[in-house]
Amino acid sequence: MSIASTAHAATRCDIGAPGTTARIPIGDSGRPMLVHLPRGYDRGEALPIVFLLHGSTATGAEMLRESGLEATADTHGFILAAPDAGIPVGRGFVWNIPGVPTVTGTIPTKDDPDDVAYLTTALDWLAAEGCADDARAYVTGLSGGGRMTSWLGCVAADRFAAIAPVVGLRAGNPDADDPSRPDPATCAPAAPMPVIAFAGDADKTNPIQGGGAGYWHYTMHAAEQRWAALNGCTAAPTTRWAADGVYEERYTGCRDGADVAARITVGGGHAWVVDNDAMWAFLSAHRRADRL
């Protein structure tokens, strides 16, 4: 990908129309993505942006419908971008997480599209167009998109201010010698990464108790604890009821305020088990510039 532009070179965002979602060509990447501009956007301001990553074999359009985040973007005034992953599978796509098998059991090769490069390039382009504030860029995603969200936290902490994996929190690849724990060599973020994760305790696909497919293995708690260690969290973890049937585990006292939180829905399955307003409240409390 080659996009010859400088961040914030433009002063007016001229893509799409406020209050609508449009498929926008991303520079000369050859890969457009769905972009929703919030209702009432005056185009003269660079807004926060949330990248919404679909689950394995799905699409960005399906993820928009399932998440309900377009309405949340209208309410809170952020841009929502819903890309398709780079590897076609069935009726949809899967994300390229190096060294980790996709749902087909195949590990991506060097010939597969680089999704990290695509997403960071898209952020650069949307910032250069005057639309997105790249200091307030966030990522969330469901299932395989949640695992890709986690991967971006590992390898692009200098680009995104906070992440919110949904039924997909990871902290690096499973260790080859002991898959019950994450391999620390595969997740070494350049800066503390605030994390809020969502899951259901009845999820049979990516069980919080661990097990499952080759890309999963270790427990959600192991992932939380690894992110807390990476972020230098010093306070003892706490657990509280965040809402009816939803409890939150939280690690605080972290470097640069990079808390790690996990909200678990009792009886929740492999689905978008998210309070969108609570997710946005967590994400929007962080700016990338605060941590660099």
Residue 292 scores a pLDDT above 70: no
SS3 264: strand
Torsions phi, psi for 154 (to 5 deg): -75, -40
Q: pLDDT of 77-126, one tens digit each?
A: 999 999 999 999 999 999 999 988 899 989 999 999 999 999 999 999 99
CA distances from 267 to 136, 163, 208, 220 (A): 33, 24, 12, 16
Residue 10 scores a pLDDT above 70: no
What are the residue ranges of helices labelled H in the chain?
60-67, 69-76, 115-128, 144-155, 220-230, 276-284
The mean of the pLDDT values for the chain is 93
Count of H-run helices and E-run strands, the chain = 6, 12
Residues in the chain: 292
Percent above pLDDT 70 for the chain: 95
Percent above pLDDT 90 for the chain: 88
Residue 67 scores a pLDDT above 60: yes
- Residue 291 is predicted with a pLDDT of 45
Cβ within 8 Å of residue 178, ≥6 positions away: none
DSSP-derived secondary structure letter, 6 = -
Torsions phi, psi for 203 (to 5 deg): -70, 120
Burial class (CB in 10 A: 0-12, 13-18, 19+), 212: middle
- Residue 9 is predicted with a pLDDT of 45
Q: What's the pLDDT band for 290 if we cut at 50, 70, 90?
A: low
- Residue 2 is predicted with a pLDDT of 40
- Residue 213 is predicted with a pLDDT of 87
Instruction: List the beta bridge partners of residue 199.
Output: 264
Q: pLDDT of 20-29, one tens digit each?
A: 999 999 988 8
CATH 3.40.50.1820 fits 21-291, yes or no: yes
Residue 38 scores a pLDDT above 50: yes
Q: Higher-confidence residue: 240 or 2?
A: 240
Is pTM beyond 0.85 here?
yes
Q: Measured between alpha carbons, how far is 41 from 251 in angstroms, rounded to an integer?
A: 35
Asked whether the beta carbons of 152 and 169 are under 8 A apart, the reply is no
Q: Measured between alpha carbons, how far is 48 from 80 in angstroms, rounded to an integer?
A: 9
